[in-house]
Amino acid sequence: MTGRTEAYSPGAHSDGLCPACEQAVVGRPSSLRRRVLFITSEMTDYVKVGGLGEVSAALPRALADAFDVRVLIPGYREVLQSHRELSVIADVPALAGLPACRLGRTRTSDGLFVYVLLSPELYERDGTPYGDRSGDWLDNHIRFGRLSAAAAQIAIGAIDPFWAADLVHANDWPSALTPAYLRWSGARTPSVLTIHNLAYQGLFAREALAQLGVPENAFRVDGVEFYDQLSFLKGGIFYADHVTTVSDTYAREITHPEHGCGLDGLLRQRAAEGRLCGIVNGIDSWDPATDPSLATGFEAGDWTGKQVNKDAIRDAFGLGRTKGPLFSIVSRLVQQKGIDFVLEAADDIADQGGQIVVVGAGEPDIEDAVRAQFAQRPKSLAAFIGYDESLARRLYAGSDFLLMPSRFEPCGLSQMFAQRAGALPIVHQTGGLADTVRDGRTGFQFRSLTVEGLMGAVTRAFRVFNTRSALSKMRLNAMRQDFSWSESAAAYGSLYMRGIGNR
Ligand code: ADP
Ligand code: GLC
């Protein structure tokens, strides 16, 4: 089916690259750039569950001019289907209970190098990278332990004889044990761990230790132990040379018990060492002026064009073409996102002449609650339960306001896409929402996480909606915000160089 069946033979590279002098299409020649292995469990090119997929597609590309960045991702079906020409370049030996697998190598059409960890039994499944409708995959510790251990082996040059990393960059719990494996093997390769969401920690029973080849003496408070369980994320936070998260405010919040998910003590320690910082995400170069999937393209100031998109979305959902504002939600439907506050506020918003459209998918009970409540008022409330990128963009373009009352939000991308399309975000003042929405200028923030808090901001939004000049001004401010990756990529670049320099 794919190059997976090819026998490993060093020197035979069906991707046409000479292993000794391979050049990425993007960026400067690899010999001039420091080498970074970027490990991720999702990437929009292939498979995406949340914002991590978008960051993993955008950040390595934004860094490619300055660094020889290579992404390592598990060989999910979607990856193999996208790269039928994948070269199998090496065998990856078994480690403790982690099965032997193979390493593939390919490039995206714009030249980004991607290493693919090949193990049909671990990664080629129906469902998301993390599970299916019945829950998480039961062998996730093996699947992502395998990923982390392979990353460490690749980083030290033990797998691809032509490439070793100057630094590894792990992301979230699925690759968080990479810095730990490096340390346990005695390697000194510097490491960065980015926490995209502290709430997902990768916790497993202590029986997993032996399967994962974790040294017994690492199962302690100063190590991977977390209340008698093995925590992937804690291991990463403990062993990484530097820990980042995806906004300044979230970097502070996680050092306090309220948002620290039990790891605030360790995070405080890392912050005190100067080893924890926030680097806010960017978004890709989406432009509502040129997106062909919109009813019509529009630029800042072209409010007629925006209105055409609003009418189109209302027609698509069977909503009345009223004079009131259209509120949107584009979100994973999980507890974090505070959808329950919107459900509590929905009737009030509809009574005041507002309409709400939800595009989202996630936990079945939240999906069901949205469906059931929205079915009661079909002219004002509508939902698409599922995942649809094009519909999401049409909704950003067509809505006046975005509702995002997240309980916590490490960064959040939806509020940035919304601003780019002139949909003013109404957000809880937390994490990246606090850092990327300017209250009263590009959106509305509320402090108290209650339905009253939310409705206070919604009332301000109604007021602005009814004052055309104020609405126009805020939309212009929002659409002119710079959410590009350049500054953040430069911040990662400096961090990498510091890590490499301190080795
Ligand atoms: P998280 O990573 O916590 O899910 P973010 O706001 O960082 O939240 O990223 C969510 C991304 O996924 C945004 O780009 C948003 O547009 C997109 N998204 C969320 N739900 C859907 C959906 N149902 N269909 C299409 N895109 C979605
Ligand atoms: C996580 C967070 C989200 C962040 C994204 C990318 O999914 O929930 O806030 O934007 O990761 O970093």
Instruction: List every span in the chain annotated with CATH 3.40.50.2000.
Output: 34-74+132-282+486-501, 303-479
Q: If you measure from the C-alpha of residue 502 to the centroid of ligand 1, how many angstroms do you get, rounded to a whole number?
A: 37
299 lines ligand 1 (CB under 6 A): no
360 lines ligand 1 (CB under 6 A): yes
Torsion angle, alpha carbons of 242, 243, 247, 251, to 10:
-110
Of the candidate CATH numbers 1.10.3720.10, 3.40.50.2000, 3.40.50.720, 3.30.565.10, the domain formed by 34-74+132-282+486-501 belongs to 3.40.50.2000
User: Taken in order 273, 276, 279, 280, is the CA torsion positive or negative?
Assistant: negative
Note the ligand closest to the C-alpha atom of 409: 2
48 lines ligand 1 (CB under 6 A): no
331 lines ligand 1 (CB under 6 A): yes
Say what the pLDDT of residue 301 is.
Answer: 98
Homologous superfamily (CATH) of 303-479 is Glycogen Phosphorylase B; (3.40.50.2000)
User: For residue 21, what are the CA distances in angstroms to 11, 16, 31, 134, 348?
Assistant: 12, 11, 8, 47, 64
Note the ligand closest to the C-alpha atom of 357: 1
Say what the pLDDT of residue 284 is.
Answer: 85
Q: If you measure from the C-alpha of residue 53 to the centroid of ligand 1, how many angstroms do you get, rounded to a whole number?
A: 10
Look-up of token digits 């080498």: 35
The residue whose CA has the least distance to atom 16 of ligand 1 is: 414
Q: If you measure from the C-alpha of residue 388 to the centroid of ligand 1, how many angstroms do you get, rounded to a whole number?
A: 10
Q: For the chain, which residues score pLDDT lower than 70?
A: 1-31, 503
Ligand 2 atom nearest 410 alpha carbon: 9
Ligand 2 atom nearest 336 alpha carbon: 8
59 lines ligand 2 (CB under 6 A): no
User: For residue 433, what are the CA distances in angstroms to 187, 264, 293, 409, 419?
Assistant: 38, 20, 27, 7, 12
Say what the pLDDT of residue 85 is.
Answer: 84
Ligand 2 atom nearest 431 alpha carbon: 9
User: For residue 402, what are the CA distances in angstroms to 115, 316, 322, 350, 418?
Assistant: 37, 18, 18, 15, 7
Task: Tokens for 97, please give them.
Answer: 């209970």
392 lines ligand 1 (CB under 6 A): yes
How far is it, in rounded angstroms, from Cα 11 to Cα 162? 10
Q: If you measure from the C-alpha of residue 324 to the centroid of ligand 1, how many angstroms do you get, rounded to a whole number?
A: 26
Say what the pLDDT of residue 285 is.
Answer: 86
Q: If you measure from the C-alpha of residue 249 to the centroid of ligand 1, how many angstroms do you get, rounded to a whole number?
A: 20
Q: If you measure from the C-alpha of residue 220 to the centroid of ligand 1, how many angstroms do you get, rounded to a whole number?
A: 36
395 lines ligand 1 (CB under 6 A): no
Q: If you measure from the C-alpha of residue 455 to the centroid of ligand 2, how many angstroms do you get, rounded to a whole number?
A: 25
414 lines ligand 2 (CB under 6 A): no
How far is it, in rounded angstroms, from Cα 191 to Cα 183? 10
Say what the pLDDT of residue 30 is.
Answer: 55
Three-state DSSP string of 181-211? HHHHCCCCCCEEEEECCCCCCCEEECCHHHH
236 lines ligand 2 (CB under 6 A): no
The residue whose CA has the least distance to atom 5 of ligand 2 is: 51
Q: If you measure from the C-alpha of residue 48 to the centroid of ligand 1, how many angstroms do you get, rounded to a whole number?
A: 9
- List pLDDT tens digits, range 389-435: 999 999 999 999 999 999 999 999 999 999 999 999 999 999 999 99
The residue whose CA has the least distance to atom 12 of ligand 2 is: 196
Note the ligand closest to the C-alpha atom of 360: 1
366 lines ligand 1 (CB under 6 A): no
Residue 362 gets the label, from left (phi > 0), alpha (psi -120 to 50) or beta, of left
51 lines ligand 2 (CB under 6 A): yes
197 lines ligand 2 (CB under 6 A): yes
